[in-house]
Structure 1
Amino acid sequence: MDETSTPETPAPHDGGSGGPERPGITRRGLFGLVGVGTAGLAVGAAAAVGTAAAVDAATAEGDGSGGVHPFYGEHQGGIVTPAQDRLHFAAFDVSSTLDRDGLVGLLQDWSAAAVLLTQGLEIGEGGAVGGSDYAPPSDTGEALGLPAAGLTLTFGFGPTLFTDADGVDRFGIADRRPEALAALPRFQGDALQPAWTGGDLAIQACADNPQVAVHAIRNLSRIAFGRASLRWSQLGFGRTSSTTRAQQTPRNLFGFKDGTANLKAEDTALVEEHVWTGSGDGPAWMTGGSYLVTRKIRMIIENWDRVQLQEQESLVGRTKGEGAPLSGGTEFTEPDFSATGATGEPLMPTASHVRLAHPDQNGGARMLRRGYNFVDGNDELGRLDAGLFFISYQRDPADFIAVQRSLAADGLNEYLRHVGSAVFAVPPGARPGGYVGSGLFA
């Protein structure tokens, strides 16, 4: 529920899509277009170019059954792309036997598969049902007949990809690690669990159909077999922020509107300033990229549900219905932190979330948020294991760190437990014929 001011700026630009949204096509279309290996097969650049051209031609004659965001582009998709409703996020550990060429091959294979998956196509020779009767299908098939559903795939590199926990430079890239990419510091109140923390590689799959997102991660995990294994993954539903002005502000599991003041794709100048890395920010291979922070935040739902409405609003700093700041106005009115009530007390409580997270309280730090609600069943005491899977993109993780430290005094902390944490460098988008992160190995 972090606050990020969003003054009006010029025209919308979805840098992550690589072009305008186009009609979708079914996953049976262009059957068997390109074969993608599931155990170490590297896909050549020429094949990737041919795939993109064929997919573009097919999509132009699509049946309109789902939105399509092309994989190639200046920036990776899934950042300023209109936030989809569903998430499957996965962090991977690279095999101890993998060498530099093997890592490059994995990224090439993932990129070639992502081109097809984001178009709503099957992957591999024969796809799910058209291959040999005596071999496992190349595609797992649970998305057969479904459209692309706005799928985006976003790839990131963790600090441990550059040097592992023992300080070993496994791939000869330690000297190319951006200075900004370092494990996040411990924050007050952290209750981090190793099972939900860290990772060498990350893939964020967002879609408007949960099965499409799960299918993507499942098949990319399968392609990685023997080269990288899942460290942890998280399903999410009900986005907790908007990334365009056309989207209504959603609600989190506390029942409050979340992300009212999030950066939007239309805020092109602010996105350029606060999301995308510039040419002077670090190594050249990261120019046009971003930094991804994830935090798995468990909400103590049962305790919150016993809190009086007035206190809930005071803790958040907004009304629960309209989402207006307690200093007055409507949802998108800028909070007035100098306003006081009849007793002389600030109308925006000093320990309220909105006040502590606002850019004015954090040296102007802003980020673009793409979080999701989650419910992972219940714990051993019968309480909901539920909360917010926080995702933010920022030009420098230092911005997230500044805000999180400010939130040490947040009154909401009584009802929150941070149990997972990770940070990843997100390289710029891949070009046709290339693969994501290619600049790192140039």
Structure 2
Amino acid sequence: MVHPHQPGVVTAPEEFAVFAAFDLDADPAGVLRRLDERIAAVHRAGTATVTVAVGASLFDGRFGLAGAGPRLLTAMPAFPNDVLSADSCHGDLLLQIGATRAETAAAVLADLGKGLRRRWESAGFRKENTTTAAGRPSTRNLFGFREGAGNPDPADAGLMERLVWAGDGEPSWAAGGTYAVVRLIRFAVGLWSRDAPARQEEIVGRHRADGAPLAGGPEDAEFDYAADPDGALTSVDAHIRRANPRTPESEQHRILRRSYSYRRSEADQGLIFVCFQRDPELGFAAAQRRLAGEALDHYVLPFGGGYWFVPPTVTALAAVIPG
């Protein structure tokens, strides 16, 4: 069976985006129906791409939804190296709004968020929003390194069914949705810039100029670490190696990344890490546990975000909410 999917997951990322979480006080079905109508108008106008997701707290019993939530949806836990701020985490509802201009994304959020209690928000941009040689979305983060290589191909429908879209064991309304992880990560850009480029490349595991892996080959090269067990080419605590050790076992842990940089001030800038997967424990959490103790830990501080579920359509979720 072919399921519908919201935009903003496998569609090409916009150059700018804003993420905003809300706490609902009453009538979530009405809120979702009103949002669905307004979002449809935004999409018809072609001004922005809006993706709606819900947090585990929506199903806590306040609205008669206890037990009706996605099977694997939980609140995001704290991981090693996290310093989470309560006012920058979680929420009943998340809006991801992408546009070609930052002002457009902000204006759409202002309209859609009317009457809702905002918990947190973060605006992002994709510096040098391009594609890899294989045509996959890529960007350059504020540490100066390209991101996007190694991502599963969002144009491969079979691969997305296996890694991204939820199905077996989920409530019928959730089939064709996906689990999203959003992480707000502050970068120590000044500290990072004091390291020599060669040291930066050792920490990441890729060349800064073109994203080519230190293991050899072009940016999108298929490689493994079997010939480099001691880390002579790619350090054993390099980010690329910890995040995806490229073993047969780690294949099931792959996630679809769609991240944005943010900059609020020189002291507060970094990454809005965003990823989608069929199972957040098997995907993001498994990779996150491998990253504990990586060399990059010294330069990053995760402080917010959450786990979310992106329903296949907003109406699919609204239909199961009492009222």
Asked whether the two chains share a fold, i.e. TM above 0.5, the reply is yes
- Given the alignment of the two structures, is residue 203 of structure 1 paired with residue 95 of structure 2, yes or no? yes
1:343-396 C-alpha deviation (Å, 9 max, x unpaired): x75311100011011163563211111110000114xxxxx3110000111111
Aligned counterparts of 1:185 and 1:113: Cα–Cα separation in 2 = 33
Partner of 1:221: 113
Instruction: Name which of 152, 168, 190 aligns with 1:263.
Output: 152
Partner of 1:346: 232
Contact 2:136 2:149 in 1 (8 A): no
AA aligned opposite 1:82: A
Contact 2:88 2:120 in 1 (8 A): yes
Aligned counterparts of 1:239 and 1:199: Cα–Cα separation in 2 = 28
- Given the alignment of the two structures, is residue 190 of structure 1 paired with residue 87 of structure 2, yes or no? no
Instruction: Name which of 168, 189, 192 aligns with 1:304.
Output: 192
Aligned counterparts of 1:359 and 1:273: Cα–Cα separation in 2 = 19
- Aligned to 1:183, the other structure's residue is in SS state coil
Contact 1:243 1:370 in 2 (8 A): no
**Percent of pairs with identical residues:** 35
Partner of 1:55: none
- Aligned to 2:219, the other structure's residue is in SS state coil
Aligned counterparts of 1:287 and 1:256: Cα–Cα separation in 2 = 36
AA aligned opposite 2:302: H
Contact 1:241 1:371 in 2 (8 A): no
Greater percentage in strand: 2
Partner of 1:80: 10
Structure 1 residues 388, 293: CA separation in 2 closer, same or farther (over 3 Å shift)? same
Following superposition of structure 1 onto structure 2, how do residues 231-250 of structure 1 map, counting pairs within 5 Å? 231-238=119-126, 245-246=134-135, 249-250=138-139
Aligned counterparts of 2:219 and 2:257: Cα–Cα separation in 1 = 18
Provide the aligned length of Structure 1 versus Structure 2: 317
AA aligned opposite 1:152: T
Following superposition of structure 1 onto structure 2, how do residues 113-192 of structure 1 map, counting pairs within 5 Å? 113-120=38-45, 148-149=46-47, 151-163=48-60, 169-192=61-84
Structure 1 residues 204, 162: CA separation in 2 closer, same or farther (over 3 Å shift)? same
Structure 1 residues 436, 376: CA separation in 2 closer, same or farther (over 3 Å shift)? farther
Structure 1 residues 162, 172: CA separation in 2 closer, same or farther (over 3 Å shift)? same
- Aligned to 2:211, the other structure's residue is in SS state coil
Aligned counterparts of 1:87 and 1:170: Cα–Cα separation in 2 = 31
Structure 1 residues 79, 359: CA separation in 2 closer, same or farther (over 3 Å shift)? farther
Partner of 2:176: 288
AA aligned opposite 1:267: D
RMSD of aligned Cα (Å): 2.2
Contact 1:340 1:346 in 2 (8 A): yes
Structure 1 residues 275, 240: CA separation in 2 closer, same or farther (over 3 Å shift)? farther
- Given the alignment of the two structures, is residue 385 of structure 1 paired with residue 268 of structure 2, yes or no? yes
Aligned counterparts of 1:202 and 1:394: Cα–Cα separation in 2 = 17
Contact 2:224 2:246 in 1 (8 A): no
Partner of 1:65: none
- Aligned to 2:106, the other structure's residue is in SS state helix
Following superposition of structure 1 onto structure 2, how do residues 380-419 of structure 1 map, counting pairs within 5 Å? 384-398=267-281, 399-419=283-303
Aligned counterparts of 2:13 and 2:245: Cα–Cα separation in 1 = 22
Bigger relative contact order, structure 1 or 2 (CA pairs below 8 A, ≥6 apart): 2
Higher radius of gyration, 1 or 2: 1
1:75-127 C-alpha deviation (Å, 9 max, x unpaired): 001111111100011100011xx1xxx2211111100000111222xxxxxxx
Structure 1 residues 436, 207: CA separation in 2 closer, same or farther (over 3 Å shift)? farther
1:219-253 C-alpha deviation (Å, 9 max, x unpaired): 0111xx1xx31000110011688789545632111
- Aligned to 1:172, the other structure's residue is in SS state coil
CA deviation after TM superposition for structure 1 residue 336, in Å: 3.1
Contact 1:337 1:346 in 2 (8 A): no
Partner of 2:36: 111
